[in-house]
């Protein structure tokens, strides 16, 4: 079966077509500036050069129309007609408490995704635009929603409840949800395969360290805690997000600088993190370069980042009471040799020992711990699109 994977943002759209028999990517692409002047589609068929087309796209339906043209193009296409696409898998950010796994999209599911939009106002409406456009242009093709929050729905209430008046949970579902679930699930499955265990028998701490970042504690293959919360702002220090802080900081700063709630929101989401501490950049490559060049604030940002990861890692090891492996994934986790070193340094007494030679690697599925490390350390490049496609193909095959 060929599966089209769609990840739709408010003005951009990423897509891939995968052949599920071989789990190979036939083509991938990115549409940008949807509804804005200068709309452009970048399409790459496996083994061929990128094909770029700048063409007006007034909305998501226009954008999907151009994706379909690219997929069926006689030179750059991968199918002769869209009938060859067996299913479409849509990334949806928030499934609230309704969805603990991926689901075939029906009118009822669309209603539920819409109800969750309150919790993800920037993402769910954009995801729905992508779904509706695909439904209009491919009315006979089954569509599946794959939620970023679903993997974390196994968290016990003791892990997801906030210590605020319970009525806010009852009335507004204010609780911890967690994100990057598709990535945590993918690396959990791969880690089980690498360890030669059934996924139901693996205990892991999975570290998704990208521009956004989260850790998850995975017991018997299921998430028991994760570092992001109601929104992706909680937890680790990120590119531009603060992660955890004393909530009273907001009140204090609002009073000092007469800041509105919107301004505070922007500061915590867009101006904080390693960008905020270093003043250099939100990209770890720039921050690492500045730190190596003697920039003290860049060094401080990286040190604080590694310490925060250790803080969650230690907590999750305590919750797991026995861990097979720690997994590093996503942009920074897969590529930063020095950050992995900083995080693992000093954890030998917990049975975590990195092998410096094995750690000298980027973007490759491999074991990077020393042979005598009690807990293995794994490097696993994430592949959210493949996870979405596998869930989608599984659901559609069982119809
Ligand atoms: P992601 O959100 O998973 O795409 O991760 C993107 C982030 O990974 C970038 O902002 C960089 O900070 C980081 N990254 C990517 N490559 C490297 C690298 N070679 N060294 C350090 N950080 C990297």
Mean pLDDT to the nearest integer, 197-211? 97
155: burial class by Cβ within 10 Å (0-12, 13-18, 19+)?
buried
Look at residue 271 in the predicted model and tell me its pLDDT: 97
Residue 202 confidence (pLDDT) above 90: yes
Confidence label for 175 from pLDDT (cuts 50, 70 and 90):
very high
Compute CA distances 166 → 120, 170, 172, 333, whole Å: 21, 6, 10, 36
Residues 342 and 354: beta-carbon distance below 8 Å: no
Of 344, 349, 350, the closest CA to residue 377 belongs to: 344
Question: What is the best residue among 212, 285, 343 to mutate for testing ligand 1's pocket, by most ligand atoms within 8 Å of CB?
Answer: 285
Structure tokens belonging to residue 372: 């005598």
Q: What is the pLDDT of residues 322-369, one digit of tens each?
A: 999 999 999 999 999 999 999 999 999 999 999 999 999 999 999 999
pLDDT, mean of residues 7-25: 96
Is 90 exceeded by the pLDDT of residue 34?
yes
Q: How far is the CA of 285 from the centre of ligand 1 (A)?
A: 7
- Element (DSSP H or E) covering residue 143: strand 143-147
For the chain, give every domain's residue range.
2-147, 198-384
Residue 118: pLDDT over 90: no
Q: What angle do CA 388, 390, 394 make, to 5 degrees?
A: 120
pLDDT tens, position by position, 143-163? 999 999 999 999 999 999 999
Centre of ligand 1 to C-alpha 211, Å, is: 7
Spatial strand order in the sheet of 13-19: 51-54, 40-45, 24-32, 13-19, 2-8, 85-92, 143-147, 103-104
Structure tokens that stand for 345 in this block: 């340094």
The pLDDT confidence band at residue 121, using thresholds 50, 70 and 90, is confident
Distance 252 CA to ligand 1 centre (A): 33
Give, for ligand 1, the residue of 273, 284, 328, 330 to mutate: max count of ligand atoms closer than 8 Å to Cβ. 284
Q: Are 94 and 118 in contact (CB under 8 A)?
A: no
What CATH number does domain 2-147 carry, 3.40.50.980, 3.30.420.40, 3.20.20.10, 3.90.1150.10? 3.30.420.40
- For the cut 90, the answer to whether the pLDDT of residue 294 exceeds it is yes
- Residue 201: what pLDDT? 98
- For residue 86, which of 394, 326, 297 has the smallest C-alpha distance? 394
Report in angstroms the alpha-carbon separations of 250 from 191, 253, 258, 267: 39, 5, 11, 10
pLDDT confidence bin for 88, thresholds 50/70/90: very high
Residue 18 CA, chain-centre distance (Å), reads 19
The CATH homologous superfamily for domain 198-384 is ATPase, nucleotide binding domain (3.30.420.40)
Structure tokens at 57: 């796209």
For residue 257, the model assigns a pLDDT of: 98
Domain 2-147 and domain 198-384, same fold? Reply is yes
Pocket test for ligand 1, best of 274, 283, 338 (most atoms within 8 A of CB): 283
148 given a catalytic annotation: yes
* Arithmetic mean of pLDDT, 252-268: 97
Q: Rounded to the nearest whole angstrom, what is the distance from the C-alpha of residue 75 to the centroid of ligand 1?
A: 33
Banded model confidence at residue 204, pLDDT cuts 50, 70, 90: very high
**Which H or E element spans position 26?**
strand 24-32
Structure confidence at residue 253 (pLDDT): 97
Indicate whether 119 pLDDT > 90. Answer: no
Catalytic residue among 75, 148, 371, 391: 148
Alpha-carbon distance values, 210 to 252, 274, 374 (Å): 30, 12, 26
Protein residues whose CB sits closer than 6 Å to any atom of ligand 1: 210-211, 239, 283-285, 288, 330-332, 335-336
Q: How far, in Å, CA of 285 to CA of 263, rounded? A: 28
Mean pLDDT, the chain, whole residue set: 97
CA–CA distances in Å: residue 232 to residues 40, 79, 94: 29, 37, 11
Helix (H) or strand (E) holding 208: strand 204-209
User: What was the pLDDT predicted at 387?
Assistant: 98
The DSSP line for 251-281 is HHHHHHHT--HHHHHHHHHHS-HHHHHHSS-
Residue nearest to atom 23 of ligand 1 (CA): 332
């Amino acid at each position: 079966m060929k599966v089209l994977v769609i990840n739709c943002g408010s003005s951009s759209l990423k897509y891939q077509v995968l052949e599920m028999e071989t789990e190979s990517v036939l083509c991938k692409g990115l549409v940008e500036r949807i509804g804005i002047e200068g709309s452009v589609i970048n399409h790459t068929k496996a083994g061929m050069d990128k094909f770029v087309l700048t063409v007006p796209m007034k909305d998501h339906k226009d954008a999907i129309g151009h994706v379909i043209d690219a997929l069926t193009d006689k030179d750059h296409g991968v199918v002769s007609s869209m009938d060859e696409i067996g299913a479409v898998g849509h990334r949806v950010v928030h499934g609230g408490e309704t969805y603990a796994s991926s689901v075939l999209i029906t009118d009822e599911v669309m209603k539920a995704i819409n109800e969750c939009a309150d919790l993800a106002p920037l993402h769910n409406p954009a995801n729905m635009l992508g779904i509706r456009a695909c439904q209009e242009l491919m009315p006979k093709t089954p569509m599946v929603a794959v939620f970023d929050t679903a993997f974390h729905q196994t968290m016990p209430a003791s892990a997801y409840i906030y210590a605020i008046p319970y009525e806010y949970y009852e009335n507004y579902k204010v609780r911890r949800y967690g994100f990057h679930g598709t990535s945590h699930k993918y690396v959990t499955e791969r880690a089980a395969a690498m360890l030669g265990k059934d996924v139901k028998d693996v205990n892991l701490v999975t570290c998704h360290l990208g521009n956004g970042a989260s850790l998850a504690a995975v017991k018997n293959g299921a998430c028991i805690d994760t570092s992001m919360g109601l929104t992706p702002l909680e937890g680790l220090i990120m590119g531009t997000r603060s992660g955890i802080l004393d909530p009273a900081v907001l009140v204090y700063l609002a009073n000092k600088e007469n800041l509105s709630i919107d301004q505070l929101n922007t500061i915590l989401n867009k101006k904080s993190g390693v960008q905020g501490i270093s003043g250099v950049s939100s990209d770890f490559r720039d921050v690492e370069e500045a730190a190596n060049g003697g920039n003290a604030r860049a060094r401080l940002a990286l040190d604080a980042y590694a310490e925060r990861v250790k803080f969650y890692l230690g907590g999750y090891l305590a919750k797991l009471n026995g861990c097979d492996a720690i997994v590093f994934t996503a942009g920074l986790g897969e590529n930063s040799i020095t950050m992995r070193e900083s995080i693992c340094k000093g954890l030998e007494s917990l049975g975590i020992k990195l092998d410096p030679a094995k750690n000298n690697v980027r973007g490759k599925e491999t074991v990077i711990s020393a042979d005598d490390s009690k807990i293995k350390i794994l490097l696993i490049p994430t592949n959210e699109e493949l996870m979405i496609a596998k869930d989608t193909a599984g659901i559609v095959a069982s119809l």
